[in-house]
């Protein structure tokens, strides 16, 4: 299968960017052909598996004279907020990505297109590629954008409703998508967040006794270890995580939580 992956952001930065890059890696490993249309800075070179066709849309150029547009209002790299797009900037965004999608469609001839974020680019892709099977993944930032301002609201809602499939990362997000876009729940599929098992794994003998089973007689039980990796912010659920940890009965060994990430 040929799969075209689409994002307006950098494909190897932030959570959704890493999600896209890992998805592409898995597509290639499974024997599929993959291509990517993505937003990048003027000197960025996306890091993706060999053989993946990449059609970058470069910002901070004559065509797009402003930084990459970010789904979060605070990005870890130089970016433009969607709420700050003027009609001229929005038209330039539309034209640049429409051209990239047309080029990728003609060169790659995808069997399926997967957009990341239920937002402006998903609507553009639906309009420009009516002949392709097209789905999109929500990363929650799209829902926050929809709730905070009205940029191209009617166009975005129409585009998302016109998708062949919508992918949610958990059940509550599915319900939020139903409310925000009016999408038929039968077309919203909960797929989970996923992780790279080659990185996030432990040998059985390395597991803490609290998780691996009872400690040997006379041995002092080890505390269970729980790690969080990501932005340390309320919007990522860290406050809820801390509240939940307080309610966990970890037994006499206890539980140790490690937070790793930027604010």
CATH (domain of 19): 3.40.50.2000
| Domain end call among 146, 168, 190 | 190
Whole-number pLDDT of residue 230? 79
Whole-number pLDDT of residue 193? 83
Total domain count for the chain? 2
Are residue 213 and residue 162 in the same domain, yes or no?
no
Whole-number pLDDT of residue 200? 73
Whole-number pLDDT of residue 210? 45
pLDDT average per 10 residues of sequence, the chain (263 residues): 97 82 95 98 93 97 97 86 98 99 99 99 99 98 97 99 98 98 97 82 58 56 82 84 85 85 76
Q: Which of 142, 127, 107, 133 is nearest to 7 (CA)?
A: 142
Position 199 in a domain: no
Would you say the pTM of this structure is higher than 0.75? yes
Whole-number pLDDT of residue 221? 75
Which structural domain range is residue 214 located in?
204-260
Whole-number pLDDT of residue 57? 98
- The two tokens of residue 167 are 């992918």
Position 197 in a domain: no
Whole-number pLDDT of residue 232? 86
Whole-number pLDDT of residue 56? 98
Are residue 233 and residue 151 in the same domain, yes or no?
no
Whole-number pLDDT of residue 205? 55
Position 42 in a domain: yes
């Amino acid at each position: 299968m040929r799969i075209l992956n689409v994002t307006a952001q950098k494909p190897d930065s932030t959570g959704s960017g890493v999600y896209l890059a890992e998805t592409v890696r898995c597509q290639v490993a499974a024997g599929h052909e993959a291509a990517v249309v993505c937003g990048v800075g003027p000197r960025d070179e996306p890091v993706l598996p060999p053989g993946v066709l990449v059609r970058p849309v470069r910002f901070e150029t004559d065509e797009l004279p402003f930084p990459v547009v970010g789904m979060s209002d605070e990005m870890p790299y130089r970016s433009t907020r969607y709420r700050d797009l003027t009609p001229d900037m929005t038209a330039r965004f539309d034209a640049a990505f429409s051209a990239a999608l047309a080029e990728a469609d003609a060169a790659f001839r995808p069997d399926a297109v997967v957009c990341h974020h239920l937002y402006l680019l998903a609507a553009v892709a639906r309009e420009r590629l009516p002949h392709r099977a097209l789905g999109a993944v929500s990363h929650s930032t799209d829902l926050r954008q929809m709730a905070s301002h009205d940029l191209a609201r009617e166009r975005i809602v129409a585009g998302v409703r016109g998708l062949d499939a919508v992918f949610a990362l958990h059940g509550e997000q599915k319900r939020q998508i139903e409310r925000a876009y009016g999408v038929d729940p039968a077309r919203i599929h909960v797929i989970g967040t996923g992780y790279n098992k080659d990185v996030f794994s432990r040998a059985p003998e390395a597991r803490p006794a609290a998780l691996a089973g009872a400690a040997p007689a006379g041995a002092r039980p080890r505390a269970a270890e729980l790690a969080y990796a990501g932005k340390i912010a309320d919007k990522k659920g860290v406050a809820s995580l801390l509240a939940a940890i307080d309610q966990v009965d970890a037994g006499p060994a206890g539980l140790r939580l490690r937070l790793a990430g930027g604010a």
